[in-house]
Structure 1
Amino acid sequence: MTEADTRANYIDPALKSTGWNKSLITREYYFTDGRKLAGQKRGSRCFVDYLLHKGNHFLAIIEAKKESEHPTKGLQQAIDYAKKLEIRFVYSSNGTQIYEMDLKTGSGNYIDTYPTPDELLDRITGDNTSITETLRNTPFQLESGKTPRYYQELAVHAATDAIGNGTERVLLTLATGTGKTFIAFQIVHKLFQSRWNRQEFGARRPRILFLADRNILADQAINTFNPYENDLIKIDGDEVRRRNGEVPTNAHIFFAIYQALAERKNAENEDIGGYYKKYPSDFFDLILIDECHRGGAKNDGSWRDILDHFSPAVHLGLTATPKRTDNVDTYSYFGEPVYEYSLKDGINDGFLTPYRVKRVRTNLDELVLTGSDLILKGEAKKDLYEVKDYDTQIIADERTELVAKEILKQINALEKTIIFCVNQDHALTMRDMINKHKAAFGCPTDPHYCVRVTSDEGKTGRELLEKFQDNDKDIPTILTSSQMLTTGVDARNVRNIVLDRNIGSMVEFKQIVGRGTRVFDGKDYFTIIDFRGATNLFYDKDWDGDPEEPEPKQPRPPSKPGEEPDGNQPPIVGEPDPLEKEKLTVSLSPTRQLKVIDVEIRYIDDTGRPLTAQQFVEQLMFKLPQLFSSVEELREIWSHPDKREDFIIQLAQHGFDSDQLKTLRAMFEAEACDLFDILTFLSHEKPLRKRSERVLSTKQNTTFFSQYPHADAQAFLEFILFRYEMTGIDELSRKRLNHLIEQAKLGTLADLKQAFGGSPKDVLDAFLALQHVLYHCA
């Protein structure tokens, strides 16, 4: 009996007998998209045989096995999936036996019958309040045909469960690009529709404040909340002036940036208070703090004053950064997240785009000034300047020009690219150098091909950014920036993130990497091009790992008179550079040979960490025995195009996709060899064999060719071998067969079918047989 028989003859009747009707069961529940692979392919999607649910609770999953198999075969994978879905109960059955695992207690045992829906629901929701269950059962607000991703659903439920159970400080941690604003909207929708509020549940609809630190983030959120456009308003100076100095109160959903609400000064530099003080402290029921790690929870900032004023409200923070030493204040304020979803999970699930890393080094990464170099400003204080010193201690436009030309060399002309620079002046110089050399690299001559987008550009910069974000527009193509684009900017088709600045914070690094992770059609991956060694942060033990309790922070010394405490300066306003002495500005000698000395491609493993070439090969050698046990097993796989394609997809899921395997050939100077031979060389030390050698041996197999006596048949088979020798295994794909027939130009398709025996199947059989000989020849 097959697994399908087990389901139909045993599991389905057993579930029906204990009250599980069709509305409470989802069969073959797929909940990921499959990791994005090169060539518009996807890895395997995660799914469970049965998902049992009731009252918007995922209650259990069932793993079905054939009657002849052990009932708990595959249980571990089912447990792993249950953890992803935050499901407590897992069942595994071959029809004749049922095994139950409780992930909360860690205990498992065989049972006679499945629990009823109400029994399972009671086990899971025993401590929940009626408010929690009401919020759970309030439907999502979705466009026709759209469903939330599994982690979005879990995040919304985790937040509303916490609110319904009376939690006053709630934190959600989800990677950039996973839809935090969509999640926030669904939370607000559920609270709004159920008439939740801080005073009396059901008595009125809540008043909610959405706080951001940048206008562009607030405006993006307003667009997401469009279904409630008649119930929302933005608090800013223009709105208050329209109301003759009164803050708006006639709405349910309010949007504001911290700076608009914070303490203000008049023209005479006198304190006139913040708009937030014009609201009663209990005016809002819920405050949503977007990108809350950026300072809203710090004890010594004016942002904290706003939160303290509205302390009776529930505060819900949204962040993309797990707990680290540089954002411990956020976690001490909100507590542990009620739900987390990491960058690594998003990439492996296929909801975020993977990345590649190119580490670029120049011969100016270490600079010793000579008498031939001209000092334009400042004074040389060091004998040796390192790459981290550029644009902080020393300015050399020649280096920026060298970097700009290498960027243009590394990217395609119309690939949307963000270049992160040290400061606003550096971003200006980089923009100018890109535009100076763009024509030489075949790029458009449009004056807006490369633009700077920082806070200094104001409205013009925001308009250029909006055009950059428009996936239907190619111009602007390249943005240079320093701080403004590190968080929250939704540009889905970014293909390159260039780092020409020092990044000391893991939080900031994750935010910058997140600029490229959004999924877009035709975008298999994005590339991080690193000129400063910033990607060394990938090797930090904290990179996208489980959050750890950081070391206690040392107390900050008291502020000096007139000094602003940390946290008062929002990062977008002016983006001021740190106070510093005059930088050394030099003009390097024209006799210097300026060049890029190394572009190291770093491979990405399945944990998201880049690998050196040696580490890549070592990891591949470690993984190969898990995929095939012998050369003969691999030969059988490789001899059939469908099995070969499945195997290559498995390799990609382990972090070795087709583009990286091409680079592997170059590493061994084996571009003329078949990938099969490279794999057997790495796994079993078999000698490398060129494709031309395989073709020659196949042509010499007279037994095989004698089966096809017609001249056109033999000519077609030899044409296939020619194409394989020239370009490789892609020509042996089943989907290439029709194209090969057209290219061979041996008459009509009907003529070729007759040459092989008369039917399309005869042509296909010969195509498959040829590949068998190709890989089994001596």
Structure 2
Amino acid sequence: MSSEADTRANYIDPALRAASWQPSNLTREHYFTDGRKIAGGGRGRRCFVDYLLHKDNRYLAVVEAKKESEHPTKGLQQAIDYANKLRVRFVYSSNGKQTYEFDLETGKGNFIEFYPTPAELEKRYTVETTDLSQELRNIPFHLEGAMQSRYYQELAVHAATDAIGQGKSRILLTLATGTGKTFIAFQIVHKIFQARWNLDNPGSRRPRVLFLADRNILADQAINTFNPYEKDLIKINGEEVRKRNGVVPTNAHIFFAIYHAIAERENIDGYYKSYPKDFFDLVLIDECHRGAANEAGSWRAILDQFSSAVHLGLTATPKRADNVDTYEYFGQPAYVYSLKDGINDGFLTPYRVKRVRTNLDELVLTKDDVIVEGESGQDLYQVEDYDRKIIVDERTELVAKAILQNINPLEKTIVFCENQNHALTMRDMINKYKSIKDQYYCVRVTSDEGKVGRELLEKFQDNDKDIPNIITSSQMLTTGVDARNVRNVVLDRTIGSMVEFKQIVGRGTRVFDGKDYFTILDFRGATNNFYDEEWDGEPEAPEQGGTREPTSPLYTPKPIEDGDGPMLEPAEPRARLKVKLGKGRELKVIDIETRYIDENGKPLTIQEFVERLIQQLPGLFKSVDELRDIWSDPDLREQLLAKLVQAGFDEEQLSTLRRMFEADDCDIFDLLAFLAFEQPMATRKSRVEALRANNAFFGQYQQEKARQFLHFVLNRYEQSGVTELARERLPTLIELSGLGTTKDASMAFGGKPAQLLAAFKQLQHQLYHVS
């Protein structure tokens, strides 16, 4: 029987050669994603195309091969999906005998006799390609050592350099946090350097580039990325200008600055005004959503000064509201790569949500509560009022204890609080109840901490260090902080801005070895933003008649100079009401709901979660008897569990389902049998008791030690569940039972290890087949 490989070798390869496709113009079995991260260090299916056709550093088409016996367009839809990811216009699907061509731009397809030649296919692309665009495309990426670029990074760089080549002066790249925006910026600069592109006289000199960030830590991270050009770069700040007796540096090609440092200078004109208006050829604006396009913002004056330069904005979250319209300034993005894409491609880490509710989420003050400061202005306080309108340290204490109970003690965690004082109280409460003694286990990192806070943050970012382990903050860590091993993002803060919510979620998405997912622990309902239509989508244009009101009217944003550049820290609430709750109140967490995220980034409701599992089960087993046979064999059971993981249901999620159905005392087997076949669930205890009564089974083992060991295994199963029945657990069970070594245990079962293993398996068979 023919295979896809036969189709490629016997039909498609000769047909492509006949159409002048050389080996240099095609890539076979082109894998371009890593596969979504799944539990246990596994990966989902990687995206690949059978052939990727390209010319002049431009992807032109993908070819999908099918078996000769299959319909030629059987794999067309998947190929179209992959072509869209690769920004390819033409898709071919062939079983060798017939070849189908589909044009994504017109949405039409038809069978063809011959493949077009590279030149013919290139001519069909309607995108304007200038000589400069092509020259910039042809310059290779600067990659050192084992470094490799990802497909979306290549597409983003090409989109930007194409725009420069076409003479566009305002360019926007939108890529999710953690996908390497600074790496992309570096490759763009590298290409224009090699081409000696500039606005005055292209080819005559290297360009002068200004890289603008809003904080020192972001500028410093960028400088590290640009290290291959260290002789060409300099940072514009007070220290550098003072070294030059008040003269701004001009003897470089790449200039880094935080906008606040060059916008103001002791109430005199900013440093940037010391540069000629046409000094810079390219201005790169990192996190450009934070105000670059705002006419009232500090960045706008700098951009206006260098208006003749090309302005390239980089952001994960374009803004449409709050008087900042990123699109109005830059236009539509030249390239977009979303958080959803990054997670599904395996370049970012998936997440789960734990929504925590307490009995203080609504607070009605009583006569037993003591007003320590201020006076009450309302009868009922909601969860969003805490640490804005009302300060209740007992609630912060309850949240701190709940955080510690829901994280592994050495999992790096960021706690986002309402303001800097709230972050202080949270730090103190966590330190009150922590199990780790180190004095730096939990620290606050906010603008008030200054240099000390930045040093602690650097240690937190160091993946080889466990301490600090928990950081409490408010605004300082919402953007740009590259801490790859963050396992928990805690929200004890009301988030009204989708931009801010996306940035905060991005703190956990960076990939790290052994990190299968991260957890968002939400105490304020902030994760309801996941259900907003703006989540991970392109924002719609604002309605006519003005922009949206700011989302946090109780705050007065104020720029703070913390030695790390300005940022908008929430001002302290205008009306402070501090309350000490009466001793008669019982404070408790009343509900923790775990929600898992689907491939579109939406948390699944319990019903959706169950429905999704039920849809997967028929492909894994056809009857309850087949399931029973699989589950009673430890090796087949492990294979089934692995398939469930591939389908998106790991051990922890199945345990969550057991809790949902109040089946904690049951086996996962019973849960699966119930969901798939409505089979009544039995408890582990009842199953064990039924087997203990089977004298015939135990009577076949003559030695008392053998029978005692099997009863010990049943005890472990009854207490802890099916994980105790895995083959790999056998040596540990022997040791824990007091039977001695594996050799000693084998003697009790007839002298051979195979007889011991057979008894272990037979016990399980009996366990699941008893009536």
Shared fold by TM > 0.5? Answer: yes
Deviations 1:552-602 (A, max 9, x none): 462799xxxxxxx99988896375534753311222223332222222222
Deviations 1:368-414 (A, max 9, x none): 22222222221111112222111111112222222222222222222
Q: Closer, same or farther in 2 for the Cα pair 1:555/1:773, shift >3 Å?
A: closer
Query: Is the aligned partner of 1:318 residue 2:314?
Result: yes
Could you tell me which residue of structure 1 aligns to residue 237 of structure 2? 236
Query: Is the aligned partner of 1:525 residue 2:517?
Result: yes
Provide the secondary structure at the position in 2 that maps to 1:134: helix
Deviation at 1:296, TM superposition (A): 0.9
Deviations 1:220-241 (A, max 9, x none): 1001111110000011111111
Deviation at 1:690, TM superposition (A): 4.8
The 5-angstrom pairing of residues 379-398 of structure 1 reads 379-398=375-394
Q: Closer, same or farther in 2 for the Cα pair 1:737/1:587, shift >3 Å?
A: closer
Once residues 601 and 44 of structure 1 are traced to their aligned partners in structure 2, the CA distance between those partners, rounded to angstroms, is 26
- Unpaired runs of 5+ residues, structure 2, are 550-555
For residue 594 of structure 2, the aligned residue among 597, 601, 607 is 601
Provide the secondary structure at the position in 1 that maps to 2:414: strand
Once residues 10 and 736 of structure 2 are traced to their aligned partners in structure 1, the CA distance between those partners, rounded to angstroms, is 52
Once residues 76 and 702 of structure 1 are traced to their aligned partners in structure 2, the CA distance between those partners, rounded to angstroms, is 59
Deviations 1:648-685 (A, max 9, x none): 45544554332111111122233454434322322332
Q: Closer, same or farther in 2 for the Cα pair 1:722/1:362, shift >3 Å?
A: closer
Once residues 179 and 690 of structure 1 are traced to their aligned partners in structure 2, the CA distance between those partners, rounded to angstroms, is 50
Deviation at 1:38, TM superposition (A): 1.9
Could you tell me which residue of structure 1 aligns to residue 396 of structure 2? 400
Q: Closer, same or farther in 2 for the Cα pair 1:97/1:468, shift >3 Å?
A: same
Q: Partner letter of residue 138 of structure 1?
A: I
Deviates more, 1:475-484 or 1:409-418: 409-418
Could you tell me which residue of structure 2 aligns to residue 83 of structure 1? 84
Q: Closer, same or farther in 2 for the Cα pair 1:623/1:590, shift >3 Å?
A: same
Once residues 759 and 114 of structure 1 are traced to their aligned partners in structure 2, the CA distance between those partners, rounded to angstroms, is 62
Provide the secondary structure at the position in 2 that maps to 1:582: coil
Could you tell me which residue of structure 2 aligns to residue 153 of structure 1? 154
Provide the secondary structure at the position in 1 that maps to 2:152: helix
Q: Is the 8 A contact 1:300 1:567 kept in 2?
A: no
Could you tell me which residue of structure 1 aligns to residue 4 of structure 2? 3
Q: Closer, same or farther in 2 for the Cα pair 1:594/1:678, shift >3 Å?
A: closer
Q: Is the 8 A contact 1:638 1:676 kept in 2?
A: yes
Once residues 25 and 758 of structure 2 are traced to their aligned partners in structure 1, the CA distance between those partners, rounded to angstroms, is 47
Q: Is the 8 A contact 1:712 1:746 kept in 2?
A: no
Could you tell me which residue of structure 2 aligns to residue 133 of structure 1? 134
For residue 486 of structure 2, the aligned residue among 489, 494, 499 is 494
Deviations 1:178-206 (A, max 9, x none): 11111111111111111122233322211
Provide the secondary structure at the position in 2 that maps to 1:333: helix
Deviation at 1:12, TM superposition (A): 2.4
Could you tell me which residue of structure 2 aligns to residue 289 of structure 1? 285
Deviations 1:612-633 (A, max 9, x none): 4344224433554576666577
Q: Closer, same or farther in 2 for the Cα pair 1:421/1:631, shift >3 Å?
A: same
Q: Partner letter of residue 520 of structure 2?
A: I
Query: Is the aligned partner of 1:273 residue 2:269?
Result: yes
Q: Is the 8 A contact 2:388 2:572 kept in 1?
A: no
Could you tell me which residue of structure 1 aligns to residue 441 of structure 2? 449
Provide the secondary structure at the position in 1 that maps to 2:487: strand
Query: Is the aligned partner of 1:206 residue 2:198?
Result: no
Q: Closer, same or farther in 2 for the Cα pair 1:56/1:676, shift >3 Å?
A: farther
Provide the secondary structure at the position in 1 that maps to 2:63: strand
Provide the secondary structure at the position in 2 that maps to 1:516: coil
Q: Closer, same or farther in 2 for the Cα pair 1:169/1:399, shift >3 Å?
A: same
Q: Closer, same or farther in 2 for the Cα pair 1:736/1:546, shift >3 Å?
A: farther
Could you tell me which residue of structure 2 aligns to residue 621 of structure 1? 614
Query: Is the aligned partner of 1:485 residue 2:477?
Result: yes
Once residues 752 and 4 of structure 2 are traced to their aligned partners in structure 1, the CA distance between those partners, rounded to angstroms, is 39
Provide the secondary structure at the position in 2 that maps to 1:272: coil
Q: Partner letter of residue 416 of structure 1?
A: K
Could you tell me which residue of structure 2 aligns to residue 583 of structure 1? 576
Query: Is the aligned partner of 1:358 residue 2:354?
Result: yes
Could you tell me which residue of structure 1 aligns to residue 303 of structure 2? 307
Provide the secondary structure at the position in 2 that maps to 1:247: coil
The 5-angstrom pairing of residues 538-549 of structure 1 reads 538-549=530-541
Once residues 653 and 423 of structure 1 are traced to their aligned partners in structure 2, the CA distance between those partners, rounded to angstroms, is 41
Q: Is the 8 A contact 2:361 2:383 kept in 1?
A: yes
Could you tell me which residue of structure 2 aligns to residue 343 of structure 1? 339
Deviations 1:125-174 (A, max 9, x none): 76311111111111111122221111111111111111112221111111
Once residues 556 and 618 of structure 1 are traced to their aligned partners in structure 2, the CA distance between those partners, rounded to angstroms, is 38
Deviation at 1:515, TM superposition (A): 0.7
Could you tell me which residue of structure 1 aligns to residue 97 of structure 2? 96
Deviation at 1:245, TM superposition (A): 1.2
RMSD of aligned residue pairs (Cα, Å)? 3.7
Could you tell me which residue of structure 2 aligns to residue 119 of structure 1? 120
Once residues 218 and 434 of structure 1 are traced to their aligned partners in structure 2, the CA distance between those partners, rounded to angstroms, is 32
Deviation at 1:10, TM superposition (A): 2.2
Could you tell me which residue of structure 2 aligns to residue 257 of structure 1? 258
Could you tell me which residue of structure 1 aligns to residue 165 of structure 2? 164
For residue 434 of structure 1, the aligned residue among 426, 430, 434 is 430
Query: Is the aligned partner of 1:688 residue 2:681?
Result: yes
Deviation at 1:460, TM superposition (A): 1.2
The 5-angstrom pairing of residues 366-385 of structure 1 reads 366-385=362-381
Deviation at 1:177, TM superposition (A): 0.9
Once residues 706 and 123 of structure 2 are traced to their aligned partners in structure 1, the CA distance between those partners, rounded to angstroms, is 70
Q: Is the 8 A contact 1:359 1:533 kept in 2?
A: yes
Once residues 14 and 716 of structure 1 are traced to their aligned partners in structure 2, the CA distance between those partners, rounded to angstroms, is 67
Q: Closer, same or farther in 2 for the Cα pair 1:50/1:437, shift >3 Å?
A: same
TM-score, structure 2 as length reference: 0.89
Q: Is the 8 A contact 2:475 2:570 kept in 1?
A: no
Q: Is the 8 A contact 1:746 1:752 kept in 2?
A: no
Could you tell me which residue of structure 2 aligns to residue 562 of structure 1? none
Once residues 399 and 698 of structure 1 are traced to their aligned partners in structure 2, the CA distance between those partners, rounded to angstroms, is 49
Provide the secondary structure at the position in 1 that maps to 2:205: coil
Q: Is the 8 A contact 2:213 2:257 kept in 1?
A: yes
For residue 412 of structure 2, the aligned residue among 416, 439, 442 is 416
- Unpaired runs of 5+ residues, structure 1, are 558-564
Deviation at 1:724, TM superposition (A): 6.5
Could you tell me which residue of structure 2 aligns to residue 661 of structure 1? 654
Provide the secondary structure at the position in 2 that maps to 1:589: coil
Once residues 578 and 204 of structure 1 are traced to their aligned partners in structure 2, the CA distance between those partners, rounded to angstroms, is 48
Q: Closer, same or farther in 2 for the Cα pair 1:736/1:130, shift >3 Å?
A: farther
Could you tell me which residue of structure 2 aligns to residue 18 of structure 1? 19
Q: Closer, same or farther in 2 for the Cα pair 1:166/1:424, shift >3 Å?
A: same
Q: Is the 8 A contact 1:606 1:654 kept in 2?
A: no
Q: Closer, same or farther in 2 for the Cα pair 1:303/1:699, shift >3 Å?
A: same
Query: Is the aligned partner of 1:464 residue 2:456?
Result: yes
Deviation at 1:697, TM superposition (A): 8.9
Q: Is the 8 A contact 1:323 1:548 kept in 2?
A: no
Provide the secondary structure at the position in 2 that maps to 1:255: strand
Could you tell me which residue of structure 1 aligns to residue 500 of structure 2? 508
Deviation at 1:533, TM superposition (A): 1.4
TM-score, structure 1 as length reference: 0.88
Q: Closer, same or farther in 2 for the Cα pair 1:674/1:96, shift >3 Å?
A: farther
Q: Is the 8 A contact 2:294 2:324 kept in 1?
A: no
Q: Partner letter of residue 518 of structure 1?
A: R
Q: Is the 8 A contact 1:326 1:505 kept in 2?
A: no
Identity, % of aligned positions = 68
Q: How many residues align?
A: 761
Could you tell me which residue of structure 2 aligns to residue 573 of structure 1? 566
Q: Closer, same or farther in 2 for the Cα pair 1:229/1:714, shift >3 Å?
A: same
Deviation at 1:20, TM superposition (A): 2.8
Deviates more, 1:486-495 or 1:89-98: 89-98
Could you tell me which residue of structure 1 aligns to residue 552 of structure 2? none
Deviation at 1:103, TM superposition (A): 1.3
